[in-house]
Structure 1
């Protein structure tokens, strides 16, 4: 499926993405200023069927691939990094349902996602456990026909606007904190209460507020079976997170470069800047080199993930982590280089059409979004296991 593909009865993917970007641009100044969730962009994602990008055609979705996710996330990231991340994280959740939910939950949920009725939020953060994705403190409480959820999460991207949630919980009974289950809960099955504000430096429209989720669900809404989240994280959550996030960051940096080039090549830019300057040309070259490096690494990683081979091998885990680390660092460095290139007026002030100030604020979050320090620690251990130094 390419950006020219069509969902049955719907627009081609390129047109759908263009419509979302147009709506995003129209509301960008307000959503960033007010740290407001981009409701209008989400509404367009619903109308265009893009929420069902990774849902199989048999359930009414677009039947897209990991490659399509990367292309769409990059496209949306060019307009607003918050919108791109919201979309990429939703697709990650949808992919987990596609691959691991039982038949009953698939039939109940996937057509609703494809129709734009369900925007999914991820609930994996928990107070007191740091960034340990594969552990859970809150425990599911089992009754004869229901599972009781009572969960507090310090960060839930878009959670106040989500129609459904995928929640990590410790499995019922006398289970260790590493016995983690992934549970789907519809908003109507929960009491959702907020417990704080969202006023960050960047990523302001992501509206990643603290939430408490309390309620109960039937047993078939456990995705992949009790205690199986480690497998889901290794085969879906981790790979699609690193691919999706990196694509969004690349899109944000590429969009910044495109706007700078438009400025430089325009009449005002030709008067203000010496396009024959060795320093200007060298800085442009370095920015483009950084983005080409990320693009090549992203394309290679997508190819590996789509091969559906054993992603648990150390060399493949190292590749996935390297993509995330490299993209988070190089995309920010590229935009910082653009700030130096165009200077104070167009690199630092908020009213510049280059929007570099916003891109810097947003991309500064990339290294913190599942900390690069934590990934480097994991990679050091993985490197010890890959004694042959294999490259996938």
Structure 2
């Protein structure tokens, strides 16, 4: 099992240097889905990385998943983010697959390397995970929902979506469920364009999601519990893995640029040292949060207020400091880093990283953290 995880990590590094890097500029320029990269990930079984070996997956734990996300990001940040988001949805499904029909559906996701997207944002609510306006409406043995999601990453390309909604039309906004809907039976209407600054290959426009489904597709675990134990902590850790990989790649390009200039350019920039100590701090924080999240996912620990504060703090630190590292790399590389082309370009890496503070907006997390700090207890 350990060997499989090590082999998967090596495959991520090789794919990053190969097919991901080969198509990254085009994916970014055209804001298109990285189909070649996803095909390669499937071929190596990497879409099932988070699934246990006995279910047909690779059995990677959270620290291993974070390392894989960082490795993939060095080749293409958008591909790495799609992979990371998919692993979060897969972990949610694996935590809830009670009942024969749902369990078989999850088994098929793993076996066939199906891509799962998430539709949790909503018009009028934004990214407030714990609130839904749309509701599950039942009609005999079938059910349906109609949701206007403000952002659905790779939703049009996904094989299935995990959609949050109120339990029923009379339920309060926080009484939510998650529903696994099959894309083949779902109407997806693109509500806007997609021409962002960075992470362009994630293809994340607003979508209207209209789905019909059987009752068994409603996950048995309340959505709020799923968010606290799986979705939020794993998202923060794996997204942070992606951002760490982008920052580390930028730092390495800066070092290569400084070496290429040679001794005649004068003493090396102090930014080279700054990038290293910043990355070392981020790596330590990421590793600690990944290990703690693994314990929560396995039930060895509870998702306490203090735990939530720590994983939120990881997201805040990584999303801000990784940008600082990329900016320092650009200072070292100068115009070679500012350029969109060339071996020392950090432009795409920086643009991808600028999305980090906006994913679950940092201002919202800071406000939440201030409240949590008042009630959090030490370990």
Structure-1-length-normalised TM-score:
0.91
Q: Following superposition of structure 1 onto structure 2, how do residues 159-198 of structure 1 map, counting pairs within 5 Å? A: 159-198=155-194
Q: Following superposition of structure 1 onto structure 2, how do residues 263-282 of structure 1 map, counting pairs within 5 Å? A: 263-266=257-260, 269-270=261-262, 273-274=265-266, 276-277=267-268, 280=269, 282=270
Match of 2:122 in 1: 126
Structure 2 residue ranges without an equivalent (≥5) = none
| Distance of aligned partners of 1:53 and 1:374 in 2 relative to their CA distance in 1, 3 Å threshold | same
From 279, 285, 289, the counterpart of 1:297: 285
| Distance of aligned partners of 1:310 and 1:60 in 2 relative to their CA distance in 1, 3 Å threshold | closer
Match of 1:245 in 2: 239
From 344, 362, 371, the counterpart of 1:354: 344
Match of 1:64 in 2: 60
State the 1:54 CA deviation: 1.0
SS of 1:41's partner is helix
Describe the superposition over 1:177-215 as per-residue Cα deviations: whole angstroms up to 9, x where unpaired. Answer: 111110001111212222221000111111101212212
Using the alignment, how far apart are the partners of 2:214 and 2:74 within structure 1? 40
State the 1:116 CA deviation: 4.1
Q: Following superposition of structure 1 onto structure 2, how do residues 1-392 of structure 1 map, counting pairs within 5 Å? A: 2=2, 4-5=3-4, 12-21=7-16, 22-225=18-221, 228-266=222-260, 269-270=261-262, 273-274=265-266, 276-277=267-268, 280=269, 282-308=270-296, 309-343=300-334, 345-386=335-376, 390=378, 392=379
Runs ≥4 in structure 1, deviation > 6 angstroms? none
Using the alignment, how far apart are the partners of 1:122 and 1:15 within structure 2? 28
Structure-2-length-normalised TM-score:
0.94
State the 1:241 CA deviation: 0.4
Structure 1 residue ranges without an equivalent (≥5) = none
Two-structure CA RMSD over aligned residues (Å):
1.7
State the 1:260 CA deviation: 2.1
Q: Is the 8 A contact 1:250 1:295 kept in 2?
A: yes
| Distance of aligned partners of 1:48 and 1:103 in 2 relative to their CA distance in 1, 3 Å threshold | farther
State the 1:176 CA deviation: 0.3
State the 1:151 CA deviation: 1.5
State the 1:20 CA deviation: 3.0
Using the alignment, how far apart are the partners of 2:89 and 2:9 within structure 1? 23
| Distance of aligned partners of 1:369 and 1:52 in 2 relative to their CA distance in 1, 3 Å threshold | same
Using the alignment, how far apart are the partners of 1:147 and 1:16 within structure 2? 41
State the 1:110 CA deviation: 2.9
Using the alignment, how far apart are the partners of 1:242 and 1:272 within structure 2? 43
Using the alignment, how far apart are the partners of 2:69 and 2:105 within structure 1? 23
Using the alignment, how far apart are the partners of 1:128 and 1:150 within structure 2? 14
Describe the superposition over 1:24-71 as per-residue Cα deviations: whole angstroms up to 9, x where unpaired. Answer: 111111111111111111111111111101112222111221112111
Using the alignment, how far apart are the partners of 2:71 and 2:15 within structure 1? 10
SS of 2:148's partner is strand
Task: After superposing the two structures, state which structure 1 stretch, 113-122 or 103-112, moved more.
Answer: 103-112
State the 1:99 CA deviation: 0.7
Q: Is the 8 A contact 1:123 1:156 kept in 2?
A: yes
Using the alignment, how far apart are the partners of 1:33 and 1:105 within structure 2? 42
Using the alignment, how far apart are the partners of 2:317 and 2:264 within structure 1? 33
State the 1:164 CA deviation: 0.4
| Distance of aligned partners of 1:190 and 1:60 in 2 relative to their CA distance in 1, 3 Å threshold | same
SS of 1:307's partner is helix
